Homo-oligomer: A and B are copies of this chain.
Amino acid sequence: MNELNTPLRTIMTPGPVEVDPRVLRAMSTPILGQFDPEFTKIMNENMAMIRELYQTKNHWAYPIDGTSRSGLEAVIASLIQPGDNVLIPIFGRFGHLFAEICERYGALIHTIECPWGEVFDPEDIISEIDRVKPKFVTLVHGETSTGRMQPLEKVGHACRERDVILIVDAVATIGGADVKVDDWCLDAVIGGAQKCLSVPSGIAPITYNDRVEKIILSRKKVERGIATEDDNKQFTSSPIRSNYFDLSQLQDYWSERRLNHHTEATTMNYALREGLRLILEEGLEARFQRHKLHEKALVAGIEAMGLTLFGDPTCKMPTVTCVNVPKGVDPDAVRNTLLNEFGIEIAGSFGSLQGKIWRIGTMGYSCRKENVLFVLAGLEATLIQQGFAVKRGEALQAALQVYALQKKQEVIG
């Protein structure tokens, strides 16, 4: 087998995106043992930085060792007991994933759907909460399959007033847009590494508050083989079904007790640490503004070349831009040419949107000027090849104008 030889890509999908070179370098650091005080210090530092990322005072803020959906499943497995009522508003693929996971853990699921490309009016969700009276609501913040972002604040406050637990999938927004866990009254939130954090997939930072912890502790069971007599005195009528995703055990591992569970994924923690450092160095607000700037330039270029955007613009994700595939254009041929000739990756979509839209991500380290300009140039050239009547040369001019205007405003201050 040959040495690893990978081409260098311009990755403009909604994830995984390009990893920041500083994160890549951190990953080549020799490892420490899992109970080495120098490593547990790093675990604590990651907790502190995850809190800042989530703008929360929650004590519990730590990563799950798996991809983003492992974070979703850990929260659901630890919270939802068979027969629990869960309200799941669905506005794209990842709402369905919530339904799928909740169902597997025995929830009675109540789904409401809105057309792909839109989000819910918060009032509609709230009246459904009043009708269904669920114990939990799950909500996707940024739905990458459609590029829409659901406003959370009103729903969060309504849930808190009604003593409903709100679980939020912020996999695609965290680090790229505001996720105000405390201000918005979000009870448990799951973030993704491989999107706006620019860390490789394989670790999922989560946070949850004491309302959530209370449920988790009521289901606690210390692991066979390491439980003490005192541990065994604890009884629960509804143990958590998964061991790997048992947050009551993971909490013990991430607490000063350091009770052994799995072997913490050392290098992924190094990567996460560097990714979080980069975000906090840049500053959350500055980072969100950067994402908005490059989105603006991308959208200006897309529209200038004569393409149209998919979906309701009032709830567009700042980090994902969905483009309608023009009539007569083969969507996969365009993606293949971009990849094979330009080394640029953009995404298609799922389900009813498959073949109808392209999705272009502007996330984390991938979200930078040269990438935006290159994807616009590549897309224009590819569409010309496909025979589409693109407005030649306009896209880059429009994008450059956005950047120039920004520079001017910075000078004026």
Contacts and interface: CB of A to CB of B under 8 A. Distances in A.
Contact of A200 (B45, B67, B266): B266
Contact of A263 (B16, B32, B262, B267): B16
Contacts of A135: none
Given A94-B225, A100-B225, A226-B350, A28 B30 contact: no
B104 A240 contact: yes
Interface string A144-175: 01000000000000000000000000000000
A268 B93 contact: no
Interface in A258-278: 260-268, 270-271, 273-274, 276-277
Contacts of A68: 262-263
Nearest to A345: B33
A397 interface: no
A97 B203 CA distance: 23
A9 interface: yes
Most buried by B among A1, A42, A95, A244: A244
A73 interface: yes
A301 interface: no
Contact of A66 (B13, B30, B70): B70
A100 B202 contact: no
A374 to B, nearest CB: 15
A215 to B, nearest CB: 17
Contact of A266 (B3, B16, B38, B104): B16
Contact of A265 (B13, B18, B201): B201
Contacts of A122: none
B201 A65 contact: yes
Interface stretch (A19-27, A206-214, A282-290): A19-27
B226 A93 contact: yes
Please list the 7 inter-chain residue pairs (A to B) with the smallest Cβ-Cβ separation, ordered nearest first. Answer: A96-B225, A202-B265, A200-B267, A96-B224, A67-B262, A93-B225, A27-B27
20 contacts: A6-B42, A8-B30, A9-B32, A18-B31, A21-B30, A27-B28, A33-B345, A65-B202, A67-B263, A67-B264, A73-B244, A96-B223, A100-B223, A101-B243, A104-B239, A104-B240, A200-B268, A265-B268, A267-B268, A268-B268
